[in-house]
Each structure stands twice: as C-alpha cells, then as structure tokens.
Structure 1
Amino acid sequence: MKHLPRVLIVEDEPAIAELIAVNLRHGGFAPVVVEDSVAAQRELDAVLPDVILLDWMLPGQSGLALARYWRKQPRTKSIPILMLTARGDETDKVAGLDAGADDYITKPFSTQELLARIRAVLRRRAPESVNDSVTVAGLILDAATHRISFQNQELKLGPTEFKLLHYLMKHAERVHSRSSLLDKVWGDHVFIEERTVDVHVKRLREALGTAGPMVETVRGAGYRLTAVVAQSVLAATPSGR
C-alpha cells in the first residue's frame, strides 16, 4: 500500500480544520486533526507526522511557542512546520519563521496554494541525491552521512540549513542572490518569500558557531561562503586547542 504523507493539523476552529482535512484527503494526504497544544503533543508522542500545519492562535500554548519547543526537541526538530494565521504583517511572518516555521500561510488561503506549499516542504525534506563530500578551509560537509565539522568539532544543523550550506560550499566564493538561493536550495520558490532566506542564513550562522562569519552578507547582492574568514579564524585559534 502506498504511504500517504501524514499531516498533523493543529487548528481550534472546527470548520476550518474540517475544510483543510477534506481537501488534504482529496489531495492524497492522511490528515489528523487536533484542537490544542496538549492534544498535538499527545499525537506527536504517538506517531510522528510528515508535516505539521500549525495555527498561530490556539487555546493555552500558542502555535508560536509550540513551534519553538518542537524545534528544540531532537525527535521533532526536523518535521516541516507550516504556520497558519490571519496575521499578515511582515513582522508577524518573520516572528513565525524565527520560531522555526518552514513556511507561513496567511488566512484566507486557497486549497491549491496550501497543497502546493505542503508538497514543496516535503520535497525540501527529501534526502540529497548527491552524496558527496565538500571541504572549504576547516569546514567539512559529508552529504552521505549528513555530518558537518569545523576544526574537528561536529556541528548540528537542521535539514534546510544543511542543504543551504551544502550549496554554498559547492559554490564557495560566489555571490548568490536570495532568489537564486530559493531556486537552487528550496527548489520551488513560487510560494516562498525571499525573507525566508535571511532567517535560514541567520540560523545557519548560529549553528556554525566560530565558522559562522564564513557566510558573508554582500550588501545589495546576497550571500556567499568564503574561506578567507575561516583562515583568519584558524590563525586566531590557540595552537593548544
């Protein structure tokens, strides 16, 4: 039997939740509906979904707080989260992305757009087809084992940050615009905002630690990964480390 992607819908308005569930079933997904954070956590503890549709405004713990919590847990940190909300301001979108959401859908939305966005995050979650190893200065990425290290220290990255770093390392020293990164890393940027790139670059730098400055912002142009900064970091590192 073909596996239907399991979608956990965390939505406290029954009419909206049912409408989403019906359309997901017709679109080839297996939806599971819960109304609050307690039920959502209980469902996650039982079976991990392929995608989470998370409403911002929930009784009790907010969707924003839930996204932050799940991103910190090893078991749930890699599950794609799409935030559903009536909040359409850019500051709210940035807050949702900063909390760990992979995408952001403003109500009201078309069912076709929702399905397209779900399929897009599932494509991004798919494993890399190229299992190569890339080295830039002291930074080493092994796509086959999904491991990254800098100066022999292993680093932990989320799936999107891993793909972003992989692409930047394979095209080191080149400047990449936000739109080109969306196209090459996300694969389908029709529904994704360019601001998403900035949020993931910020997460990538934080995860890289002392190697973070290797990901440079080129004002007015985009981003690039450079070995020049890494060399200065290596030179400043005490020899006894």
Structure 2
Amino acid sequence: MYGSTDPSIPARSLVTALHAAAVGVAAWFLFAGTDTVAAWFGTSLPHADPMRRYLLITLSVVYFVRFLVTTFVTLKRRMAVTEAVTVGCWVIVIHATMAFTGGVDDASVGVLTWAGVVLYVLGSCINTGAELQRMRWKARPENRGRLYTEGLFRYTMHPNYLGDVTLFTGFALVTGSPWALVIPAIMAAMFVFVNIPMLDRYLAERYGDAFTRYASRTAKLIPFVY
C-alpha cells in the first residue's frame, strides 16, 4: 500500500460514491427524515435547532470536499477496492452518527457548539495544510527519495492524523451529544495502535537513519504529549 503509486480510479470512484451517499442520507435525516425514522420505530423524535442542522450539514459537505481533494489530488499511493469499501463504510458511520445524534438535539446552540466549529476548522487546516505542504515539497526533483520533516511535520510526525482527531472532536461537539465523541475516540485509538505503528515501520525501512533521527526528536501525534 505505502510506496506504490497508482491512479486506482475504480477504487477512488467507489469510495467517493459511498461518501456522497453518506452526506445525502445525513442531509435527508436532518431536514426531512426525522419523523420517518421515528415512525419506523414507532416513536417520536425531537427536531434539532435549525442552526445546529445547518451547521451539521455544512461540516459534512466541507469534509466531503476535503475528502475529494485528498483522494484525487494529494493521495498518490495505490488504493485497493477493499480499502475503498472499508473507508467508505467508516465514512457512512461517521456521517450517520453525527446526523442522528445532532439531528435530535433541540437545545439552542451555545458556546460549546461554536467551540466545536473552531476545532473543526483548525483540524481541517492542519490536515489539508500538512498534506499540501508535503506535496509541494515532494514535487521538487531535488527532494526525490528524501524524508519530509518540514512545515507542520516539524512538530508532529503525523499531522494529518492529529488534524482528523481535532476536526472530528469539533464535529462531535457541534452535535451536542456526548455519544458522538465515540467517533474521534475510535479514530484516535486506530491511529495510535494501528496506523501509526504500520506507517512508522514502512518509513523506517524506506528512510533508515534519517527516519530514526526524525522520530527521536519529534512527537508522533500530539506535540509535547505523544
């Protein structure tokens, strides 16, 4: 997976379609489907504050647009169909969780909601900004085969993962439901125990001593913490 480049158009198209469907379902529930879903279970559900609904669908759409940039612009490695299905299903879970927990919170938006928006914007900037910094650096011929340790990567080895955890923590806060925090918690656990160790092994094999020196002076995920 790491180190191989390929357009992988079928896989990228599949994961994009699944993501688009997830955003569509979220929009339907937030603005038209709450009563329908409640009827399926023979119950009633409150309707979220209109501002909360607009914020939630905006965050979903922004994430989808950023996902398109990552999938078709910054992500150069091969993507298998199995990965596309896995990522697509996870994205569906994310959007469903945010829409279904936030879509039934009829409390007015408050300070915590706007704090969530700030975290979402900050995390998005960290994630996409780091990827664009690295992409521009690697595009220069003199940097071919070298390890990128500049920009945001100077402070954390995996700023894209840090950005994801930050933005989805913010997304969860916007829902107004503590249950939505399960999403960034699962994400952080997967990064710490699966993705980071796997990627670090690959980087150590590819860059050798350069990576060892980099890893010895740089936090893995959260600067000054881990």
Whose helix fraction is larger, Structure 1's or Structure 2's? 2
TM-score for the superposition, normalised by structure 1: 0.31
Whose strand fraction is larger, Structure 1's or Structure 2's? 1
Asked which structure has the greater RCO (Cα within 8 Å, sep 6+), the reply is 2
